[in-house]
Amino acid sequence: MVSFPSIFNDVLGPVMRGPSSSHSAASLRIGRMALDLMDSDIKSVTVDYDPNGSLVTTHLSQGSDLGLTGGILGWETDDTRLPNYRDEVIKAGIDIEVRYLDYGAEHPNTYQLTLRGNQKEHAMTAISTGGGMIEVQKIDDIPVNMKGDYYEIVIFLKNPDAGLSAWLSKDNNFDEVVFVEGEKKSLINLKSREAPTKNLIEELNSYSSVIELRILKPVLPVLARKNLKVPFSSVQEMEEYRNEYGEMSLGELGAIYESERSGLSISEVRDRMSSLIKTMEDSIQTGLKGTHYRDRILHSQSPRFGDKMESGDLIPGDVLNRIILYVSSMMEMKSSMGVIVAAPTAGSCGALPGAVLGVSDALNKNMDERIDAMFAAGMVGVFIASGATFAAEEAGCMAECGSGASMGAAGIVLLNGGNYRQQMAAASMALQSSLGMTCDTLANRVEAPCLGRNVTAASNALSSANMALADYDDLVPLDQVIGAMRQVGDLMPRELCCTGLGGLAITQASKEIEEKLKDVQSSNSQQPIKN
The confidence score (pLDDT) of residue 160 equals 75
In a domain, 286, yes or no: no
Alpha helices (H) in 388-449, listed in sequence order: 392-395, 401-415, 420-432
Query: Per-residue pLDDT averaged across 178-182, rounded?
Result: 87
Query: Residue 143: is the preceding peptide bond cis (ω within 30°)?
Result: no
Q: What is the pLDDT of residue 309?
A: 96
- Name, in order, each residue with C-beta under 8 angstroms of 259's C-beta and a sequence gap of 6 or more: 265, 266, 268, 269
Span 196-201, average pLDDT: 94
- Confidence label for 471 from pLDDT (cuts 50, 70 and 90): very high
Residues 53-103: tens digit of each pLDDT:
999 999 999 999 999 999 999 999 999 999 999 999 999 999 999 999 999
Question: Taking a C-beta distance cutoff of 8 angstroms, is the pair 415, 369 a contact?
Answer: yes
In a domain, 185, yes or no: yes
What percent of the chain has a predicted confidence (pLDDT) above 90? 90
Rounded to whole angstroms, the Cα distance separating 191 from 198 reads: 16
Whether 165 is covered by a domain: the verdict is yes
SS3 456: helix
Distance CA 55, CA 341 (A): 23
What pLDDT is recorded for position 294? 84
95 within some domain: yes
Domain interval for residue 87: 18-216
Average pLDDT, the chain: 94
**Mean pLDDT, range 443-454, rounded to an integer:** 95
Residue 275 CA from chain centroid, whole number: 18
State the pairing for strand pair 133-139/142-146: antiparallel
Confidence label for 531 from pLDDT (cuts 50, 70 and 90): low
CATH of the domain at 91: 3.30.1330.90
Residue 31 lies in a domain: yes
Number of folded domains that form the chain = 1
pLDDT at 1: 55
Helix (H) or strand (E) holding 266: helix 266-288
pLDDT digits (tens, 9 = 90+) for 328-359: 999 999 999 999 999 999 999 999 999 999 99
The answer to whether residue 450 scores a pLDDT higher than 50 is yes
How much is the pTM?
0.95
In a domain, 68, yes or no: yes
Asked, for residue 472, whether it belongs to a domain, the answer is: no
Determine, yes or no, domain membership for 103.
yes
